[in-house]
């Protein structure tokens, strides 16, 4: 009998089939406090990172855009306004709790008519080939079990000429930043999680998952292997976050 395939869940090795369940438990736990924690953890800077990513996409009126792992919908709000009434934004997330938060947010913002909500696995997107003008995935790729499969699925559903933007935590490149970032990640984040969300474990997983995610050049290579061309990346806040963009030609 062959050994069971494993993958990482933070620093822990788990069975491949168990990772999605464990990640789901994390996001079910934090969904109601997710936006508040993002503001606290980044001192609001995550809003600037997301604005940069949206500008990088270059969305036009009438475009059809997939906001993958879109969670509570902060990108979808901006994207829906950019594509206008003749465009469409699909807010998709594998986690029902996060998707529910996103739906409530868009309704509260008065955005109806040009947004759809789809619960879906990034590795097996339930959309036709050559369907979207653009795809965004912000702070979601590191939680995907098989990143290569997810990127291939994204490439498939993009139209020729379409573009993908991946916004994700990455590896600090500013001299002296890494040790300070480590202290913040492994001491401050779990404490914030405990005080605000009563969930230190989920934010310990956050710090560990960031360390296990591919660095800037490795992720660039994964996009290229999936078929994306003209791949480039932009370091933000000293490389704590990077935005990658690639095209399907």
Binding residues for S-adenosyl-L-methionine: 72, 93, 121-122
d(CA 233, CA 220): 7
Binding site: what residues are annotated?
A: 72, 93, 121-122
How many whole angstroms from its chain centre is CA 100?
17
The H or E element that residue 51 is part of is: helix 45-57
d(CA 194, CA 40): 13
d(CA 210, CA 91): 23
The residues near 226 (Cβ < 8 Å, ≥ 6 apart) are 148, 151, 152, 154, 155
d(CA 16, CA 231): 29
Q: Is 94 helix (H, G, I), strand (E, B) or coil?
A: coil
88 φ/ψ angles, rounded to the nearest 5 degrees? -150, 135
């Amino acid at each position: 009998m062959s050994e069971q395939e494993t993958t990482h869940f933070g620093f822990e090795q788990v069975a491949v089939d168990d990772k999605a369940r464990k990640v789901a438990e994390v996001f079910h736990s934090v969904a109601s406090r997710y936006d508040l924690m993002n503001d606290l953890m980044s001192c609001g800077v995550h809003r600037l990172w997301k604005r940069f990513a949206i500008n990088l996409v270059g969305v036009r009126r009438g475009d059809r855009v997939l906001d993958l792992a879109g969670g509570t919908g902060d990108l979808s709000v901006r994207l829906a306004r950019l594509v206008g009434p003749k465009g469409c934004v699909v807010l998709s997330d594998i986690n029902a709790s996060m998707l529910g938060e996103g739906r409530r947010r868009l309704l509260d913002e008065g955005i109806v008519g040009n947004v759809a909500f789809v619960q879906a696995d990034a590795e097996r997107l339930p959309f036709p080939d050559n369907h979207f003008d653009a795809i965004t995935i912000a702070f979601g790729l590191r939680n995907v079990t098989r990143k290569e499969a997810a990127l291939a699925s994204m490439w498939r559903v993009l139209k020729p000429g379409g573009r993908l933007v991946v916004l994700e935590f990455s590896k600090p490149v500013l001299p002296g930043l890494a040790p300070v970032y480590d202290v913040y990640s492994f001491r401050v984040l779990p404490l914030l999680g405990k005080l605000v969300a009563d969930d230190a474990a989920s934010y310990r997983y956050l710090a560990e998952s960031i360390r296990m995610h591919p660095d800037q050049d490795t992720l660039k290579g994964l996009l290229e292997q999936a078929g994306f061309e003209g791949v480039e990346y932009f370091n933000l806040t000293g490389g704590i976050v990077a935005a990658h963009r690639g095209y399907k030609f």
